[in-house]
Structure 1
Amino acid sequence: MNRQSQTAVLFLLGATLLHAGTTGLYLRYVKAGLRPLLLAAGAALIATALATAWYERRRHRKTAAGRSPAGHGTEVDHAHPSHPEPRVSWLLLLPLLALILVAPPALGSYSALRSGTALQKPYGYGRMPAADPAPLSVVDYASRAAYGHGRSLHGRTVRVTGFLALDRSGTPYLVRMALNCCAADAQPVKIALTGELPPVLRPDAWLEVTGTYTPRLTRDPVNNGPVPYLKVASARPVPVPHDPYDETWNN
Structure 2
Amino acid sequence: MNRQAQAAVLFLLGSALLHAGLTDLYLRYVKAGLRPMLLAAGVVLVAAAAATVWYEWRARRQEPGHEAHVHPEPRVSWLLVLPLLALILVAPPALGSYSALRTGTALQQPYGYAALPADGPLRLNLVDYAGRAAYDHGRSLRGRQIKVTGFVALDGKGKPYLVRMALNCCAADAQPVKVGLTGRIPPVLRPDTWLEVTGTYTARRAKDPVNGGPIPFIEVSGAAPVPAPKDPYDETWNN
TM-score, normalised to structure 1, is: 0.91
Question: What CA deviation, in whole Å up to 9, does each residue of 1:152-176 have, x standing for no partner?
Answer: 1112111100000011111100000
How far did 1:129 drift? 4.3
1:17 is matched by which residue type in structure 2?
A: L
Whether 1:250 aligns to 2:238 is: yes
1:24 is matched by which residue type in structure 2?
A: D
Work out the CA distance in 2 between the residues paired with 1:10 and 1:97.
Answer: 12
Matched residue, 1:85: 73
Matched residue, 2:111: 123
Aligned ranges for residues 25-36 of structure 1 at < 5 Å?
A: 25-36=25-36
Matched residue, 1:153: 141
Work out the CA distance in 2 between the residues paired with 1:95 and 1:131.
Answer: 50
How far did 1:92 drift? 1.9
CA pair 131-247 structure 1, distance change in 2 beyond 3 A: farther
Work out the CA distance in 2 between the residues paired with 1:197 and 1:104.
Answer: 30
Report the count of equivalent residues: 238
Which of 213, 216, 223 is equivalent to 1:228?
216
Matched residue, 1:142: 130
Work out the CA distance in 2 between the residues paired with 1:166 and 1:140.
Answer: 22
Matched residue, 1:70: none
CA RMSD of aligned residues (A): 1.6
The alignment partner of 1:213 has SS state of: strand
How far did 1:44 drift? 1.1
How far did 1:89 drift? 2.1
Q: Name which one, 1 or 2, has greater alpha-carbon Rg.
A: 1
Work out the CA distance in 2 between the residues paired with 1:198 and 1:204.
Answer: 14
Percent of pairs identical after alignment? 73
Query: Which stretch shifts more, 46-55 or 214-223?
Result: 46-55
Matched residue, 1:17: 17
Aligned ranges for residues 1-251 of structure 1 at < 5 Å?
A: 1-64=1-64, 82-129=70-117, 132-251=120-239
How far did 1:48 drift? 1.4
Gaps in structure 1 of 5+ consecutive residues: 68-73
Work out the CA distance in 2 between the residues paired with 1:23 and 1:168.
Answer: 37
Q: Is the 8 A contact 1:136 1:158 kept in 2?
A: yes
Work out the CA distance in 1 between the residues paired with 2:40 and 2:120.
Answer: 40
1:122 is matched by which residue type in structure 2?
A: P
How far did 1:113 drift? 0.3
Work out the CA distance in 2 between the residues paired with 1:57 and 1:129.
Answer: 65
Gaps in structure 2 of 5+ consecutive residues: none
CA pair 97-129 structure 1, distance change in 2 beyond 3 A: farther
How far did 1:247 drift? 3.0
1:194 is matched by which residue type in structure 2?
A: T
Work out the CA distance in 1 between the residues paired with 2:55 and 2:114.
Answer: 54
1:113 is matched by which residue type in structure 2?
A: L
Work out the CA distance in 2 between the residues paired with 1:83 and 1:169.
Answer: 63
TM-score, normalised to structure 2, is: 0.95
Work out the CA distance in 1 between the residues paired with 2:180 and 2:194.
Answer: 15
Matched residue, 1:71: none
The alignment partner of 1:231 has SS state of: strand
Work out the CA distance in 1 between the residues paired with 2:219 and 2:38.
Answer: 40
Work out the CA distance in 1 between the residues paired with 2:14 and 2:118.
Answer: 44
Work out the CA distance in 2 between the residues paired with 1:234 and 1:138.
Answer: 16
1:26 is matched by which residue type in structure 2?
A: Y
How far did 1:132 drift? 3.0
Work out the CA distance in 1 between the residues paired with 2:116 and 2:71.
Answer: 65
Work out the CA distance in 1 between the residues paired with 2:119 and 2:10.
Answer: 49
1:149 is matched by which residue type in structure 2?
A: H
2:202 is matched by which residue type in structure 1?
A: T
